[in-house]
Amino acid sequence: MNLTNLPISISDEVQSALKDNLPIVALESTIISHGMSYPFNVRLSEEVEKIIRHHGAVPATIAIINGVIKIGLSEEEVEFIATDRSVKKTSKREIPLLLANKGCGSTTVSATIFCAALIGIKVFVTGGIGGVHKDAQYTFDISSDLTELSNYNIAVICAGAKSILDIGLTLEKLETLSVPVIGYKTDEFPAFYSRESGFGVDINAESVEKVAMIMKYKWDLGINGGIVVGCPIPRQDEIPAEEMAGYIKKAVKEAEKESIKGKYLTPFMLQEIHTHTRGKSIDANISLIKNNALIGSKIAIKYCELTATKCIV
């Protein structure tokens, strides 16, 4: 794809990494704009980028600012995303609308996958992927994250799917889309706040080398599409699944009472869970994202060591 005439701006740091085939880790920006309050959102963004750099990779936080896709944000741009209320939560389907309207948006998982893949980034770190919502057989509420995972060659490092989702059906959908699900040092797919979900993975990868080998073999064979790498939240920070079930049940009842549906459901549920856990869920969220950043950096480094092909914009 020729990107020359498209409104895309790549930071000097990311440009240099692409040229020299250095490991790059893509990061979403929705957690900055809608995930938590200021200034904690900025602080977390800085800490995650610091973890990635410390372990030898290059962070590439992605957002849309004034109709331009920005890959690699400056401190000023992160501050803007964190504080300006005009910034819209943006999925892939909304990207051309924002570009045409010179708008500003924070990228969700689906949008970040698309933007990262545009320039050949192979590793993306997030908190948790979207998926199939409960009662989806009636609502047809299935996150576009899953579709985009099947469209682009990228490994998404996450703490599983958000526990408010139907994890079993989410895994079934990923199988239908031919997206492999890897457990990083686990036989069980993690459930975001909880280490266990009751559902298995396709393979337990005991090392970052094994994950990188799977990535390389998959794409070298011409088997297009992404890979999900589920990394359990650090044990000391998890909220056990049985405890989370009670909080989710309360949040569901409140959502039904308020008639919250569609794209507003997930942020509403997460806010309700935050309230019911008295902030414990936010601490867990921060812990799992930092853990994913550490693991994602190591995977990106190992993948770069296994491949001699340079990323060319």
Amino acid at 191: A
What confidence score (pLDDT) does residue 247 get? 86
Distance of alpha carbon 268 from alpha carbon 133, whole angstroms: 14
Amino acid at 5: N
The strand pairing partners of 259, in sequence order, are none
Say if residue 190 is preceded by a cis peptide, omega within 30 of 0: no
Q: Mean pLDDT of residues grouped by 10 in the chain (313 residues)? A: 87 96 97 91 97 98 98 98 96 97 98 98 97 85 95 98 91 98 98 95 98 97 98 96 87 83 75 84 94 98 83 38
What confidence score (pLDDT) does residue 226 get? 98
3-class secondary-structure state, position 194: strand
Distance of alpha carbon 253 from alpha carbon 262, whole angstroms: 16
- Active centre residues (catalytic): 28, 162
What confidence score (pLDDT) does residue 1 get? 66
What confidence score (pLDDT) does residue 308 get? 66
What confidence score (pLDDT) does residue 312 get? 37
What confidence score (pLDDT) does residue 3 get? 81
Q: What is the pTM of this model?
A: 0.94
What confidence score (pLDDT) does residue 164 get? 83
